[in-house]
Amino acid sequence: MKIGFDHKKYLEEQSKYILERVNNYDKLYLEFGGKLLFDLHAKRVLPGFDENAKIKLLHKLKEKVEIIICVYAGDIERNKMRGDFGITYDVDVLRLIDDLRGYELDVNSVVITRYNGQPSATTFINKLERRGIKVYKHEATKGYPTDVDMIVSDEGYGKNPYIETSKPIVVVTAPGPGSGKLATCLSQMYHENKRGNVVGYSKFETFPVWNVPLKHPLNIAYEAATVDLKDVNMIDSFHMDAYNKLSINYNRDIETFPVLRRIIEKITGEEAVYKSPTDMGVNRVGYGIIDDEVVREASRQEIIRRYFKTKCEYKKAYTDKESADRAKLIMEELNLKETDRNVVVPAREYSSKLKETAGKNEICPVVALELNDGTILTGKSSTTMDATAAVILNAVKHFANITDDIHLISPVIIEPILNLKSKTLNSMSTALTCEEVLIALSICAATNPMAQVALDKLTMLNGGQAHSTTILSINEEQTFRKLGIDVTCDDEYPSANLYYN
């Protein structure tokens, strides 16, 4: 894989800049946008970026950092999902706490924002408190966003309980957007100011990259990733007016900046130190780019990947037509086609070839996988295993120089599993999934040295690119993610079944 980003340089620059910002205050409330861990979008568009760069940065500053996690009560109530993991926001909060503790970071508390007695949110609060996690409940802020006098009063932010913090950097993060991070930061600033503490607010948002051109594919890829939020990148007019310098931000930050500045001035009683939304940010990711063309191409590929993802989400009724149309317009803006993704044509051509035998109306699922050496392999679904499993076995055979006619998994192992699924568990789909095949392969490896050689090659799949001619289950997608393979799908279900897919 070609590298376009210097991770080490970025970490040094970023930690230095955050510490410089902290020096101006007794305490800095730092709103963390995007993913704190497993930032796969950043990893894809910035080849060389560590998906856990942010948490490693915080680990480096762990003596000075504590963390508050926000989650919107409404998101808990409607079981909002984090798409890349296939888990709900409340479950993601639990995962996040465990991961932060694994990096020796101090989790202060969880804030349930815009809480109004929602039953599911109340159950989640009880679950956290019974595990010893401090929980704070914030109601919707009266007067927000227009009545600044009401917002900055005992009836506005003053109604929220004060969160006791002790370290100079308080990171406020969340499972996803709209979780109330900003309101929590401002509420804390209000309470801290009443206690005579000099505190500040900053924002750490990786995208859009403020010092990269507006129409750079890297910034356009951010728009493709947030079509459901209707985010649009814009030139920061406030920054241009103040410094006569071009800077990129997104519409929501620019639109809310005048109100945000007034709120901060009302809280502190002083003129705001920030003259633009860009001023508020501390992100230095743009300084880690070392090969612009590599980043451009990676970003173009990410736009295509997001287009496929949005099409599938529309098919599943997870998103609206406006989002699907927006994803298509972004593709057209950069003159990109579906087939610019290398694995799309081989997958579709093989599926079409299978339909010639099976019949035009038959669905013939195929997965194509491009390896890091440029080789493209395919696998098809059968009564024995799914296309995902077939292509993974073909890939490890390729790396281990094992011919196609050799079976890595003994029928003695496969047959009992198929019988278990069909006869004992009464499963409607008996074909082995990718994960089941890998488990079977690991069992065979205990007695078959060739299977062990193939199993050892799994790590070589990391960085692979795949495309499926049908929509994959969330479990199949997760298995590919764990293997480090980026997969896209055509918006067609693998069967006519509504539930047993």
- CATH assignment, 7-223+237-288: 3.10.630.10
DSSP 140: P
**Fold held by 341-489:** Cytidine Deaminase; domain 2 (3.40.140)
- Report how far apart, in Å, the C-alpha atoms of 456 and of each of 203, 260, 449, 480, 482 are: 43, 54, 11, 16, 15
> What are the boundaries of each domain within the chain?
7-223+237-288, 341-489
- Report how far apart, in Å, the C-alpha atoms of 246 and of each of 250, 278, 296, 355, 375 are: 13, 10, 20, 54, 42
- 440's CB contacts (< 8 A; 6+ apart) are 409, 413, 414, 417, 432
- 329's CB contacts (< 8 A; 6+ apart) are none
pTM > 0.85: yes or no: yes
Comparing 7-223+237-288 with 341-489, is the CATH topology the same? no
- Report how far apart, in Å, the C-alpha atoms of 223 and of each of 41, 174, 317, 325, 391 are: 12, 20, 20, 13, 32
Identify the three-state secondary structure at position 163: coil
pLDDT per residue rounded down to tens, the chain (501 residues): 799 999 999 999 999 999 999 888 899 999 998 888 889 999 999 999 999 999 999 999 999 999 999 999 999 999 988 877 778 999 999 999 999 999 999 999 999 999 999 999 999 999 999 999 999 999 999 998 889 999 999 999 999 999 999 999 999 999 988 899 999 999 999 999 999 999 999 999 999 999 999 999 999 999 999 998 888 999 999 999 999 999 999 999 999 999 999 999 999 998 888 999 999 999 999 999 999 999 999 999 999 999 999 999 999 998 999 999 999 999 999 999 999 999 999 999 999 999 998 887 889 999 999 999 999 999 999 999 999 999 999 999 999 999 988 889 988 889 999 999 999 988 888 899 999 999 999 999 999 999 999 999 999 999 999 999 999 999 999 999 999 999 999 999 998 888 877
The pLDDT value given to residue 272: 83
How many Cβ atoms sit within 10 Å of the Cβ of residue 230? 12
